[in-house]
Amino acid sequence: MAEGVLSKRLALGQRAESLAARHLEDLGFAILARNWRRPEGELDLVVTKEGLCVFVEVRSRTGSERGHPLETVDARKRARVRRAARLFIDEERPTAAVFRFDVVGVTFALDDSPPEMVHVEDAFAAD
């Protein structure tokens, strides 16, 4: 992948994560971690509120020609997020009684209109 294309993709992903973080903060969540990385996987956002800890996968796309960003959270991606969440819990020891996995999909328009955001709570199980 060309360097310019990769830079644009990273910038788009960061913008989507910032929008998702702001959305979650507006819902009363506190950000525990952002872009928490280990070789086994990455967590885009980890948020908490009232005894609930949520691992949030953020996906983004430009336009709708290639489908909705939520469609990109396949079995392999879910497994990597679950693995990273287990590591996060072991290493960071969040004080929460309940854990869940959410997905936020952000679609950026090809024109100047605002992006569309879809937040799916409890999008997949911990297995």
pLDDT digits (tens, 9 = 90+) for 88-116: 999 999 999 999 999 999 999 888 899 99
Pick the closest to residue 114 from 2, 21, 15 (CA basis): 15
Residue 122 has pLDDT above 70, yes or no: yes
Query: Mean pLDDT for the chain?
Result: 93
Buried b (16+ CB within 10 A) or exposed e, 56-79: bbbbbbbeeeeeebbeebeeeebe
pLDDT of the residue at 127: 81
Confidence label for 9 from pLDDT (cuts 50, 70 and 90): confident
Strand order in the sheet with 116-124: 30-38, 41-49, 52-62, 98-108, 116-124
Residue 16 has pLDDT above 80, yes or no: yes
Each residue of 37-55: pLDDT tens digit?
999 899 999 999 999 999 9
Q: What is the pTM of this model?
A: 0.91
CATH class of 1-47+65-100: alpha beta
pLDDT of the residue at 111: 86
The CA distance from 74 to 59, in Å, is 12
Q: Which residues contact 13 (CB under 8 A, 6 or more apart)?
A: 58, 60
Pick the closest to residue 20 from 48, 56, 50 (CA basis): 56
| Higher per-residue confidence, 1 vs 93 | 93
Please say whether the beta carbons of 88 and 35 come within 8 A.
Answer: no
Please say whether the beta carbons of 68 and 61 come within 8 A.
Answer: yes
